[in-house]
Amino acid sequence: MRLPLLLAGTISVALVSAAALPAKQPRSPEQVAAAALAAAPVWDGHNDVPEQMRDRRKNVLQGFDFTDTTGTADAASGTAAMQTDLKRMRAGKVGAQFWSVYVSANLNDQQAVQATLEQIDVTKRLIARHPADLTLCLDSACVEAAFRKGRIASLMGMEGGHSIGSSLAVLRQMYALGARYMTLTHFKNNSWADAATDAPAHNGLTPLGKDMVREMQRLGMLVDVSHVSEKTMLDVLEVARAPIIASHSNAFAINHHPRNVPDVVLDGIKANGGIVMVNFYPPYVVEAARLWGANRDAEEARLKSLWRGQPDKAKAALTEWEKANPMPKGSVKDVADHLDYIAKRIGVDHVGLGGDLDGVETTVVGMEDASTYPALFVELARRGWGQQDLAKLASRNMLRVLKSAEQYAATQRGAAPLENPATSF
């Protein structure tokens, strides 16, 4: 059957036109990363700007410009410039930040409680000074609202259980003041939990430590297992009924620092629904940097013995050793290796980012400050991470975890607060 001439011509033209159309071009890694970050801004799990306010400025904000901190280096004291400011956070596509209200674990309980209160105060004051850019958030609904308004949702996390002085009552008051996670230890054990970098004292969590986890989850405060020992991590997973976090830790299988998360705990975090937020500090990222640190410690001990009673000579000699033996810093690719490992082992739903910026003196090359997150997303896109996976990494996983913690806390509203005896002074 012959088609009418006009119809046949139309079909012929259509076929030629379709053949002439170029095939849909695949998106570049840069385009995939940009699309992911436009859909879901970065939610970083750990930034130590509040510590910088205390160390550099004694918590006095008058005269401090958080818009641009690139000029904050002090050559006389050897202090480097800060790694975070509003300008670089905007460039880095940061939409939410857990600010760490860290205080030293060398303080006694009462000093630590006071110092933590002061850090909460300075953080709130810093946020209040920049209402066009920062919004203090206490829940997931506020974070989502901040995303819509183009502001940076600002939450607070305590780094170390010493911040509450072993008191469930103080824990509740810190939550009331706005703390939304607590890292159970810092570098030292406390009276109820073992740290990763201290000699074991409790075999994980004590009975009070387990009650701390229960009470945190009753309130809706996230339990953070960065800095704690493997046994403490396992004890937390046994007690937890809501998802937990590791706010700034990496994969132990790649770097054997005790601060990192071993496979058995990764598997437990998957079952728990939690998240591991990967850190940018070379000794936690790059195994060669961890080994360098051990060699440096050994050299320092040797020089102190060699120049016994002459600390200036020992210090000068160590400086020369460091110049001759620089720490291998690694790069963005090394951070991506940790994310790849964790995602392949327990799933992309359980990864996040916790850079530890302004809490470390150096980072891997390419992740030096708050502007650099997009470079990591481009590297992951090159490795085959799709837009949806990158959006989960950026903030959707953390949003899910916080919502789950809030939902669990809602089921506990009728439960009485847990108690422990007050300390007699």
Residue reference for tokens 């905007």: 90
Q: Please confirm, yes or no, whether 256 is among the known catalytic residues.
A: no
User: Does residue 33 sit in helix, strand or coil?
Assistant: helix
> Tokens standing for 304?
């102190």
Query: Which of 51, 85, 159, 389 is an active site residue?
Result: 159
Query: Which of 202, 248, 257, 350 is an active site residue?
Result: 248
Residue 198's alpha-carbon distances to 224, 263, 298, in angstroms, are 18, 21, 18
> Tokens standing for 385?
């991470």
125 near 61, Cβ under 8 Å? yes
Residue 144 φ then ψ, to 5°: -65, -40
Q: Please confirm, yes or no, whether 227 is among the known catalytic residues.
A: yes
> Can you list the positions of beta strands (E) in 40-126?
42-47, 94-100
Q: Please confirm, yes or no, whether 238 is among the known catalytic residues.
A: no
Q: Please confirm, yes or no, whether 139 is among the known catalytic residues.
A: no
205 DSSP β-pair partners:
193
Q: Please confirm, yes or no, whether 133 is among the known catalytic residues.
A: no
* Four-point Cα dihedral 393, 270, 273, 380, nearest 10: 0
Which alpha helices (H) appear in 178-274, and where do they start and end?
207-219, 230-239, 263-272
222 DSSP β-pair partners:
181
Give dist(CA 166, CA 212) in Å, integer: 9
Query: Which of 44, 46, 51, 194 is an active site residue?
Result: 46
Classify burial at 128, counting beta carbons within 10 Å of its beta carbon; exposed 0-12, middle 13-18, buried 19 or more: exposed
Give dist(CA 116, CA 103) in Å, integer: 6
Catalytic residues: 46, 48, 159, 186, 227, 248, 356
